[in-house]
Amino acid sequence: MQSAVSFKVAFLRYLQAGLDQVAGVPSANASVMERKRAIKLTADMAMALARGGRRWSRALMSNLCKQGTSENLPRTKFPLTIFSRKKILRRRFRQRPSPPRTAAAASLLARRMMKKRTEVLKRLVPGGNSMDDFSLLLDEALDYVLSLRAQADLLRRLTYAIEHSKCRWVRIYRVKPLSPW
């Protein structure tokens, strides 16, 4: 529990610092998508920094840095592509062939399914391409799921807090404090 709490504290700290940097200067950025992307970048970076000693966190940090420096100023790709790429895995398996009759074919099918799923997992978990060990991949996936869950929870609470607070209406040209006091 202590490590979860310290992760949350560190995450909030980094998130605060990042949002202060990112959102400190008022600007006339009209697009919600760009703002969303910026917020997501800082949130992911905060998550990776808060959980510093893991392979996926270092990979995520390097990915974000590359992404931030290369794509930032030219306008970003439309984020719907991100949504459309992540199909639910099961849909891809709708066209499965008939269940195999022989035992050898069954084992072959099982192996192919496992291989496909490990590939998908490698793509999802940052830094997964370099993990040849399946147990290591599972390890990193476990940790990644935990911190993703904590990140989602913290962001949700933050948005609820801001939405329900008095300072919801911020004027564009005035720097308001992020938290309502």
Partner 1 sequence: MDPGRSSGDRSGNSGEYGHEIAESLRFQEEIQSLMTENESGAENGSSFTALLGLPPNQAMELLHDSEIGDSPAVSPPGGCPIWRLLVDDPKGLAGFPLGTVPTFPSNTDLVERAARLSVFAAEDSPQTSSSKVVKTEPAVSDSNPDSSPAREPQLRPPKRKEPEKSKAKGSAKRSKSSLEKSVPKPTEEKLPYVHVRARRGQATDSHSLAERARREKINARMKLLQELVPGCSKISGTALVLDEIINHVQSLQRQVEFLSMRLAAVNPRIDFSGLDSFLSAVRRAPVASGVGGGAGPEQSSSPWDDAQRQQHQIWQVDFPPAPPLWWRGDAEQHHELAEPRRSLLRYGSVNSVCLRSNQLKQEL
Rule CB under 8 A: which of 31-90 touch partner 1? 32, 34-36, 38-45, 49-55, 57-59, 61-62, 64-65, 68-69, 72-73, 79, 82-83, 86, 88-90
Interaction of residue 5 with partner 1, rule CB under 8 A: yes
Residue 177 lies near partner 1 (rule: CB under 8 A): yes
Alpha-carbon distance of 132 to 114, in angstroms, equals 14
Is residue 60 helix, strand or coil? helix
The answer to whether 165 contacts partner 1 (rule: CB under 8 A) is yes
Q: Rounded to the nearest 5 degrees, what angle is found at the Cα of 126, between the Cα atoms of 120 and 130?
A: 80
Number of shown-chain residues binding partner 1 (CB under 8 A): 116
User: By CB under 8 A, what part of segment 116-155 binds partner 1?
Assistant: 117-118, 120-121, 124-125, 132-136, 138-139, 141-155
Nearer to partner 1, 89 or 108 (CB): 89
CB neighbours of residue 142 within 10 Å: 11
> Is the Cβ of residue 2 or residue 95 nearer to partner 1 in the bound state?
2
SS3 content of the chain, % helix, strand, coil (to 5): 70, 0, 30
